[in-house]
């Protein structure tokens, strides 16, 4: 708040600071305070990073509580300019689409405007959007986003996201489904699959899917980070 008040009404909280305020996946602003301005401010105080731009339209900004902040689409474009790991930018984008899938088209439209004004991050977001199926459901978390990036890197046929199957009188969703092969892959984080009731529900769900002919491969964060070759081997066997 102090930084924004110093920068003046032409400025907005932006980049990693805006992403942290929006609570986007994968972005930890830490002690970074980033602002973007069209104004002539100089003598930037220690602890602030001030980005200057010629283009910061009313559609690029909004209010988050008492703070003027760059909007979701502009924040994603700006992240591409300062975050080196494109996986984190993609994770942030998926968390945006979880809020509103119509933002996919707005991103593409806004890139046409921002991309023509020397925006460094526009190219990063454009590449991510080019790889994404516009009709695909958003991932349900950073774990799924990183898992999909790994699948793309392996050159596998890409699965259907959040595929719905009627099982035992109810509809369940499979995170990644190779429908013709009836093979599914599901990232399973301990925090959201722990507890007695959740454990029992997962067992019932897995049994019901098995009875309908589905092979489900469960993947932990440890698998993804420490032994991805195990995932590829198991998935290869199942798809074969």
Residues of the chain scoring pLDDT < 70:
114-120, 190-195
**Mean pLDDT over each residue of the chain, to the nearest integer:** 90
Q: What is the pLDDT of residues 35-73, one digit of tens each?
A: 999 998 889 999 999 999 988 888 899 999 999 999 999
**What kind and span of H or E run contains 95?**
helix 86-99
Give percent above pLDDT 70 in the chain.
95
Predicted local confidence at residue 192, as pLDDT: 53
Contacts 24+ apart (CB under 8 A), 24-31: 24/75, 24/91, 24/92, 24/95, 24/96, 25/91, 25/92, 25/94, 25/95, 25/141, 25/142, 25/145, 26/87, 26/88, 26/89, 26/91, 26/92, 26/95, 26/142, 26/145, 27/79, 27/83, 27/88, 27/92
pLDDT at 207: 84
109-135 tens-digit pLDDT: 888 876 555 466 788 899 999 999 999
pLDDT at 191: 53
């Amino acid at each position: 708040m102090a930084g924004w008040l110093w920068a003046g009404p032409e400025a907005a909280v932006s980049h990693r600071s805006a992403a942290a305020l929006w609570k986007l996946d994968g972005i930890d602003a830490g002690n970074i305070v980033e602002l973007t301005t069209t104004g002539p401010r100089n003598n930037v105080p220690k602890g602030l990073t001030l980005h200057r731009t010629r283009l910061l339209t009313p559609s690029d900004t909004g209010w988050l509580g008492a703070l003027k902040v760059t909007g979701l689409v502009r924040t994603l474009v700006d992240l591409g300019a300062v975050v080196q790991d494109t996986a984190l930018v993609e994770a942030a984008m998926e968390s945006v689409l979880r809020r509103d899938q119509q933002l996919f088209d707005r991103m593409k439209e806004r890139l046409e405007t921002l991309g023509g004004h020397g925006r460094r991050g526009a190219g990063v977001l454009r590449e991510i959007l080019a790889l994404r199926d516009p009709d695909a459901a958003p991932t349900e978390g950073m774990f799924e986003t990183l898992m999909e990036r790994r699948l793309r890197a392996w050159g596998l046929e890409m699965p259907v996201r959040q595929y719905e199957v009627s099982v035992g009188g109810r509809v369940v969703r499979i995170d990644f489904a190779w429908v013709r092969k009836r093979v599914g892959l599901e990232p399973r984080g301990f925090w959201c699959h722990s507890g007695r009731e959740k454990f029992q529900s997962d067992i019932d769900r897995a049994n019901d899917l098995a009875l309908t002919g589905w092979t489900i491969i469960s993947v932990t964060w440890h698998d993804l980070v420490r032994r991805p070759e195990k995932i590829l081997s198991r998935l290869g066997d199942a798809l074969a």
